[in-house]
Chain A
Amino acid sequence: GDKVKQSPSALSLQEGTNSALRCNFSIAATTVQWFLQNPRGSLINLFYLVPGTKENGRLKSAFDSKESYSTLHIRDAQLEDSGTYFCAAEGANTGKLTFGDGTVLTVKP
């Protein structure tokens, strides 16, 4: 979508390597959430962020509200990391999320 732009749209990684996904917002985002949609279609919560950073295992995410972007770093990529990563921004404390188009990640052995 235009309001939440994700990059890259697709990414292929070798197992064990690192990468970063990015979301740029044209709305005044107050919070950001990152999800992984697995090949079965289920949405898995990864991060809920106010401005700042969070880390969970091999994943680390940052949200800069002033510069209107968020990043998701994947360290030591594993095969099970494959899927579509969505970022979603919430503006003006509405509880309504605007999703990006997703990044399709394929991790290869």
Chain B
Amino acid sequence: GPKVLQIPSHQIIDMGQMVTLNCDPVSNHLYFYWYKQILGQQMEFLVNFYNGKVMEKSKLFKDQFSVERPDGSYFTLKIQPTALEDSAVYFCASSYLGGGQNTLYFGAGTRLSVL
């Protein structure tokens, strides 16, 4: 089936530093998402993105977070500066249509460890 690739699979970073998580969505998909999963807990929605803009974000999407997809390249999640509570697995997802009209495809996740 369609593949969403996330790079890297694991990132270790010191608290206060900047980190960028990269996502290569399914090639013809137009809607992009980030979800966060703290170890042992449920997956939580962070943000969705369409046509170069954030459509909706949750309370977990702090001011230190930003997303972009410059010129159809990677869809990125940047955290600057990082905090200890940002340690989690971040899942990227994409879909062709928005508004729940079809399924989301998820990447394998990037495990972020903030020390």
Contacts and interface: CB of A to CB of B under 8 A. Distances in A.
Do A and B actually bind? yes
Interface of A: 1, 30-31, 33, 35, 40-43, 45, 48, 86, 88, 90, 93-102
Contact of B1 (A45, A93, A95): A45
B31 A95 contact: yes
Most buried by A among B45, B48, B102, B104: B104
B56 interface: yes
Nearest to B39: A41
A30 B100 contact: yes
Interface residues of B, number: 28
Contacts, number: 63
A87 B102 CA distance: 15
A45 B103 contact: yes
Given A31-B100, A45-B105, A99 B43 contact: yes
B56 A94 contact: yes
B42 A99 contact: yes
A50 to B, nearest CB: 9
Contacts of B106: 35, 42-43, 45
